[in-house]
Amino acid sequence: MLIQKTCGVQQRAGDRHDGLSDSEYEILVDLALGLTDKAIAKRQGISKVFDINWGIGQHVLLENGLVKPGDVILGTDNPNMDLLPGHIDLVGAEIEMIDMRDREQQLKAVLEPLRELYDFIVVDCSPSLGLVTVNSLTASDSVIVPVQCEYFALEGLGKLLNTIKIVQQRLNPELVIEGMLLTMYDSRLRLANQVVEEVKTHFQQLVFDTVIHRNVALGEAPSHGQTIIMHDATSKGAVNYLNLAREILQKNSLTRIPDNERTIAVAAE
């Protein structure tokens, strides 16, 4: 699970840069409250993205299976990655779910039948601690916490960790923090370096070795409806995400990549 809580500093919900999809593993990216790229929908011959996305919110989550998740999964140009699209109007689902029984378990019930079909299911969350995000935490085995190298990201980190702790105690005892991912890093900025030092000092082993640098290609890729790997595999951003994928696989003993090939060198820009 990927939760994009950065204390009010929102990363682009449409960005999908995970290098895992370019490995031999089968990936499902569940955009729990993200925006489905129109380019992806166009390739699938879908003219009304809104209808399909709203269908997930209203029927799969709220009416308990009138639409099965397999019916709305979209393929991509990458044969190893599928999308289960979401929509900004899923925010309305939080109002509808307030009085529901087991309201925190709705997304888990949707994703459970898909577990055997994929090696990884990545849930891309909005920068919010609402009911949809709690559903995502309840449905997940682990959580990756992106932390922008900005001051306000540190301000909100404590609240997020407290929410994760509550979910672990009451809803999902098996939930673990996979790691904290430092993003949008610019080595030229003193503040960015201070944030990196602060996070690594306080959270130590929880922080990924990989740091995602600011990179023009990362901003361009979503406009083309592509992952950064498909858009520009040689860019610094692509190499950063490939290294992150390797680090996650190695951390979970899911790869035979030797230690001396753990990371790909990043070319100077």
pLDDT in tens, 146-166: 999 988 888 888 888 898 999
Domain range annotation of the chain: 19-261
Q: What percent of the chain is modeled with pLDDT above 70? A: 69
Selection from 126, 135, 136, 119 nearest residue 20 by Cα:
119
Supply the pTM of this predicted model.
0.76
Show Cβ contacts of residue 165 under 8 Å, excluding neighbours closer than 6 positions.
Answer: none
C-beta neighbour count of 9 within 10 angstroms:
17
- Cα–Cα dist 19/230, whole Å: 10
Taking only the tens place, the pLDDT of each residue in 224-249 is 878 888 888 889 989 999 999 889 98
Selection from 225, 251, 259, 221 nearest residue 237 by Cα:
221
Strand 120-124 and strand 27-31: the pairing is parallel
Predicted pLDDT of residue 68: 73
Predicted pLDDT of residue 46: 41
- Cα–Cα dist 136/163, whole Å: 12
Strand order in the sheet with 120-124: 74-75, 81-84, 27-31, 120-124
Taking only the tens place, the pLDDT of each residue in 245-264 is 889 988 888 777 666 666 66
Which two structure tokens, joined as six digits, stand for 138?
């309840």
- Cα–Cα dist 53/111, whole Å: 16
- Let me know: does 227 contact 29? Beta carbons within 8 Å: no
* Architecture field, domain 19-261: 3-Layer(aba) Sandwich (3.40)
